[in-house]
Amino acid sequence: MTAQPGRPDEALFSLPEQDPPPASAGRSRRAASRRPAARRPAERLPVARVIVDTPLPHLDRPFDYRVPADMDADAVPGCRVRVRFNNRKLRGFLVERVATSEFSGRLAYLDAVVSPEPVLTPEILELARVVADRYVGTLSDVLRLAVPPRHARVEKEEPSPDSRGFRGTTAEEAVAGVVPGPWEAYPEGPAFLDALRAGRPARAVWNALPGPGWKDAIAAVAEATLTAGRGTVVVLPDGRDVAAVDAALSERMGAGPHVALTADLGPAERYRRWLSVLRGHVRVVVGTRAAMFAPVHDLGLVVLWDDGDDVHAEQHAPYPHARTVLALRAHRVGAGALIGGYTRTTDAQLLVESQWAGSLTADRATLRRRAPLVRAAGDDRELARDSAARSARMPSVALRAAREAAREGPVLFQVPRRGYLNTLACAGCRAPARCDACRGPLAVRGSHAMPSCGWCGRVCGGWACPECGGHRMRAVVVGARRTAEELGRAFPSLTVRTSGREEILTHVPDRPGLVVATPGAEPVAENGFAAAVLLDGWALLNRVDLRASEETLRRWLNAAALVRPGGAVVVSADGSLPVVQSLVRWDPTGFAERELAERQELGFPPAVMMASITGGPEHVRELLEQVELPEEAELLGPVPVGTELAEDGTHRTERALLRVPRNRIGVLTRALKVAAAARSARRDEYLAHVRVDPLHVI
């Protein structure tokens, strides 16, 4: 193993090779025959450098092992191996074979080659190293995200040329002349396709037109890239989007050149498809977040759809975001990039303003023909005019639009929250209704349920307000199920369906009906929804979050884009708000420009880079004392976070924010990693939690 002599951790983890002791006089010949024969190293490149699967930051480096002669043929760079490490057998990846080692001691042998399949390509290894450094993580953590678990039986299967995803595809087999199709609606669209067809690294931030054409546009750019003999990685938020793009690719190119990778395939099928990509049988990959590391040969294009969706942020350490990973990957290999959506995030706008990517938008005339008509409605004043509107909890203008549109087709109602009555307050003083036992929030789970605590589950039938003594409650946040009940009373002749966490609808027929959906669970109507009503806009806009307005506009535009051209969209929010005006004018680019300018002035992400340190107060402060921060770094906090209290009444968890200019993020992450490695080497069991680019900083 590679080591620097004299370091205590190296003394602990170095495993010298020992010769077997001589047989004692009393040992029988039979016992001596069972003694393992002395191993000899491989004659060529006898040293293997291995990334051991350990999460400890101070061990985030390759270790050297001897390659036994009997493993010489199987121990290829990129294969999975097993090694002895600190008196344990751990898995790892062999990343390189070399002639000599810098370690002055005696090297241990590889314990086993788990599989001779070279599953870790040089490109993915280098990308994983960059991602680990960028997010203050370890290489083994990133490789755990990049390389799926092994399925031995699948590795032994012979590729079938007739099965989906296993037929080799060449540029000659692809369509020679890619039809622009949906890209003709964008002034720069045909030029973007021509650049990809010529193999040039065209990069763009794309504002998609309303309607279902986005998936066909993605299929067209993948086809254009394939004609240049290069591959494509398409990353989408969820399985429904993957299925839609998968179908569009099949319609345009057939089933052979592409494959879909999703978590619900099961381990065997997912590994089978992943191997088809690794072995070069498939050149186009479409999938959810994990597909960002797909080992596509000669990558020519990366595509990310709806980059503002939180699901693109990995939930496991070191928490990389698909937008950053794909941008790094495209930049490193000279590939094109397409970051698209109905909206535009401030992060994507920063890519445009830094000239890393161009802007792909339609002209206003085309947009007016394709977009629905958006109107803003007030809240309480409108409700007072119509008793039916009041019972359905929507302004009368929204109710009228829904009644008229329901004669022609389905109508969509977007509700910010699932459930029934999720948040309650005193009807008199409006103080939040809380449990008498644990002070948790009260909610109603169903139409015949009593108020109960969301934390401890205690039923609070005899609740009394501690502020004013009142016994009546009012709903603060109404969920999708209660909204469906209210709409059923307001529209007794129509079928009301819900789409949310329990059951997500994918499609609805083109006939009169109502659909109540939470953001992200909206189905697709056969010919587009006749109208959409966006309820309770205040619940989205009033969240304590830096990205509240940006995220609200994203959710509104995603729902409004499902409405047919010229259909009605009514948003229940104050029409004077800038975010509402951006929706009415369908101007996500203008909103992103203004929002980014404000962030630059105030020093908020993405104009600057931030890292958070979260943990127990003493551990956060200890780590901050050990970090050698760059001069430009600004420390914010620590401040208490969460509601959990210690026995002495203090908060159990605190968070500190570190802010630096974007060009100094590398210096900050290196300093944080050095400090984390130092604590890990001391066997500190209470490491503070470090996260770069936290989604929520307020």
User: What is the per-residue pLDDT for 164?
Assistant: 42
212 versus 483: the higher-pLDDT residue is 212
Cα–Cα nearest to 123, from 211, 233, 217, 229: 233
Render pLDDT for 121-164 as a digit per residue (tens, 0 to 9): 999 999 999 999 999 999 999 999 999 999 999 998 876 554 44
User: CA geometry: angle at 551 spanning 548 and 554, to 5°?
Assistant: 150
State the pLDDT confidence band at 459, using cuts at 50, 70 and 90.
confident
Mention every residue, 6+ apart, whose C-beta is less than 8 A from residue 112. Answer: 71, 81, 82
Cα–Cα nearest to 664, from 627, 630, 613: 630
684 phi and psi, to 5 degrees?
A: -75, 120
User: What is the per-residue pLDDT for 684?
Assistant: 65
**Arithmetic mean of pLDDT, 418-440:** 67
Render pLDDT for 643-692 as a digit per residue (tens, 0 to 9): 666 555 566 789 999 999 999 999 999 999 998 888 888 776 557 889 99
Average pLDDT over the chain reads: 85
Q: How far is CA 632 from the centre of its chain?
A: 30
Residue 410 near residue 515, CB atoms below 8 Å: yes
- Neighbour-count burial of 381, counting CB atoms closer than 10 A to its CB (0-12 exposed, 13-18 middle, 19+ buried): exposed
User: What is the per-residue pLDDT for 160?
Assistant: 57
Peptide bond into 5 cis (omega under 30): no
**Arithmetic mean of pLDDT, 241-259:** 93
Render pLDDT for 510-549 as a digit per residue (tens, 0 to 9): 999 999 999 999 999 999 999 999 988 877 887 778 899 9
Render pLDDT for 388-423 as a digit per residue (tens, 0 to 9): 444 445 677 888 888 999 999 999 999 887 544 556
Render pLDDT for 159-192 as a digit per residue (tens, 0 to 9): 655 444 333 344 444 444 456 689 999 999 999 9
User: What is the per-residue pLDDT for 646?
Assistant: 59
599 phi and psi, to 5 degrees?
A: -65, -40
State the pLDDT confidence band at 37, using cuts at 50, 70 and 90.
low
148 phi and psi, to 5 degrees?
A: -70, 160
**What one-character DSSP code corresponds to residue 645?**
B
Render pLDDT for 479-495 as a digit per residue (tens, 0 to 9): 566 677 778 777 888 88
Cα–Cα nearest to 302, from 372, 231, 389, 251: 231
Report the distance separating Cα 348 and Cα 369, nearest Å: 26
Classify each residue of 366-375 as buried b or exposed e, where b means 16 or more C-beta atoms within 10 Å of its C-beta. ebeebbbbbb
DSSP track, 441-494: BEEB-STTPPPEETTT--B-TT---TTT----EEEEEE-HHHHHHHHHHH-TTS
Q: How far is CA 181 from the centre of its chain?
A: 29
User: What is the per-residue pLDDT for 172?
Assistant: 46
**What one-character DSSP code corresponds to residue 15?**
-
Cα–Cα nearest to 346, from 598, 134, 633, 611: 598
Report the distance separating Cα 680 and Cα 676, nearest Å: 6
User: What is the per-residue pLDDT for 649?
Assistant: 56
pLDDT above 90 for 382: no
Report the distance separating Cα 440 and Cα 452, nearest Å: 9
Q: Give SS3 for 372.
A: coil
